[in-house]
Structure 1
Amino acid sequence: MRAQNEAQPFALKSRVYYEDTDAGGIVYYVNYLKFMERARTERLRMLGFAQSQLAGENLLFVVHSAEARYHAPARLDDEIFITAEVIELNRASLRFRQQVRRATDEALLCEGQFVVACVRADSLKPRAMPEALRAAFAHDAGLSPAGE
């Protein structure tokens, strides 16, 4: 099922630290993926599900595919906002649309889409999301939890 709402996506506020940058003080490209991972993790936590709790229930989320486009650099000490919007919810996977924006001028720095699969922790084989988790994502994204 695909999202059809105009609600504001979840956003995580962060700051660019020295460790995030290259020798020129510009965020190293792979660190945008780390920022986006953190936003997805915090989105899950906001819904009431910690990854450590889910791992204890034999459930992990793994990135199946990632697509990123870089538009402008973030620099040392910039405050940034990272969004994590569910745009597709399936039985055993989610598709996120994500953006990283500079807080001061809202400039789009990086955007991407990520397919995240639900797998068994012990075998890494796909598994259905627990209904409570799927319903939480569906409700938060403005989707109906029933159906595909």
Structure 2
Amino acid sequence: MTTYSFPVRVYYEDTDMAGIVYHANYLKFIERARSEWVKEQGLDQNAMREEGIVFVVRKIDCDYLAPAKYDDELEVRTQVKSMTGVRLIMTQEVLRGEEILFRAEVTAVCATMDGHPSRLPAKLRQKVH
């Protein structure tokens, strides 16, 4: 499957007292990349929300492999691992050059605004399969 690439620069605000990227910020980096990937697929999340459907992260399994530091230029690579009618599993890696710093497997689903499961948008299912 196609890999989507998203650039990230580490700012001072992203670091902890040791000068390395604070662990929770990797989740922000990969969230931004997933949001941009969704746009790349031709989906408008604002329009989806107005129709009463949103993406929800159900599970994240992640590994912190090496630290990123202030002013590093990083790349988040996102790839669909599998998809069903209701579930999207993606692998995401944060790299500095070719060195993998962080790796995650993210399970996302669609839900109605009141929290009930919903099918993934047909446009996404057709485009990814």
Same fold (TM over 0.5): yes
Give structure 2 stretches of 5+ with no counterpart.
none
Picking from 23, 28, 31, the partner of 1:34 is 28
* 1:120 counterpart residue number: 112
Residue from 60, 76, 101 that aligns with 2:70: 76
Correspondence for 2:38 among 35, 38, 44: 44
Alignment partner of 1:22 out of 16, 26, 31: 16
Match in the other structure for 1:86:
80
Corresponding residue number in structure 1 for 2:101 = 109
How far off is 1:130 after superposition? Answer: 2.4
- d(CA) in 1 for partners of 2:44 and 2:122? 16
Q: Secondary structure at the match of 2:102?
A: strand
Provide the aligned length of Structure 1 versus Structure 2.
129
Aligned-residue CA RMSD in angstroms?
1.1
- 2:122 matches 1:131: yes
2:102 counterpart letter in structure 1: C
TM-score w.r.t. length of structure 2: 0.95
Deviation at 1:134, TM superposition (A): 1.6
Q: Which runs of 4+ in 1 moved over 3 A?
A: none
Amino acid at match of 1:14: V
Give unmatched runs, 5+ long, in structure 1. Answer: 144-148
Aligned-partner residue type, residue 122 of structure 2: E
Shift of residue 50, structure 1, vs aligned partner? 2.4
Q: In percent, how many aligned pairs have the same letter?
A: 36
User: Per the alignment, in what secondary structure is the counterpart of residue 70 of structure 2?
Assistant: coil
Deviations 1:79-119 (A, max 9, x none): 0000111111011110000100013xx21100010100110
Structure 2 partner of 1:55: 49
